[in-house]
Amino acid sequence: MTTERRIINSDGNMNYGGIKVIGGDNDGATIYLVGAVPTEGVSFHKEPDMPLDVVVDLTFEDIPSEKRSLYESRVRKILTAYDGRVKDASSVLGWSMEKNRFDEFAGRLERYANEIMRISPKARLARTDVTAFFMKAMLDLGTVEERIARPTIEFDKRYGPGFLTFPTVRVPENM
């Protein structure tokens, strides 16, 4: 979980600059709107590759075996669509099964999968709109505090999609 963070606009205009993130896990990062991301000097985090079978097993880790046999094929299909955010999708699915709300949240994930198909899986972890979608789902499930989720959701409503970027650190070749 990230800690509460304050977001300030570095130059007073989102279209020409980024928003600096102060505090929390992403301290020092900058959010740029889609289309305004610099081509040099920034990078963004990517989700590490995990075999689908491992993620499916983690999704069902605390779930009774009868639910696994009932939901496994749907879970696999959803997780495959969320390449690049598979851990978040797995969390939503697992929590929704525990809270007996699987069909509701599986449906949300299936509908949203159509929207994010145009986003490269390598960029999905950095996209603020995708993060807001998952924060809203986890908030609705009661698995994240509102003070943690609300800034991300409100940022997306106010500014639209962006990328959470980090300064690229260049290491001299002779080191």
- Taking the C-alpha atoms of residue 96 and residue 103, their distance in angstroms, rounded to an integer, is 8
Residue written as token pair 């020409």? 16
Quote the pTM value: 0.81
Q: Which tens digit of pLDDT belongs to each residue from 63-117?
A: 999 999 999 999 999 999 999 999 999 999 999 999 999 999 999 999 999 999 9
Range in 18-22, 133-137, 146-150 the model is least confident about:
18-22
Q: What angle do CA 85, 135, 142 make, to 5 degrees?
A: 120
pLDDT digits (tens, 9 = 90+) for 57-66: 999 999 999 9
Give me the mean pLDDT over the 135-162 stretch. 92
In this structure, are residues 87 and 126 in contact, taking their beta carbons and an 8 Å threshold?
Answer: no
pLDDT at residue 3 in the model: 31
> What is the chain's alpha carbon radius of gyration, rounded to the nearest angstrom?
18
Spans of all domains in the chain = 6-45+126-132+149-167, 52-116
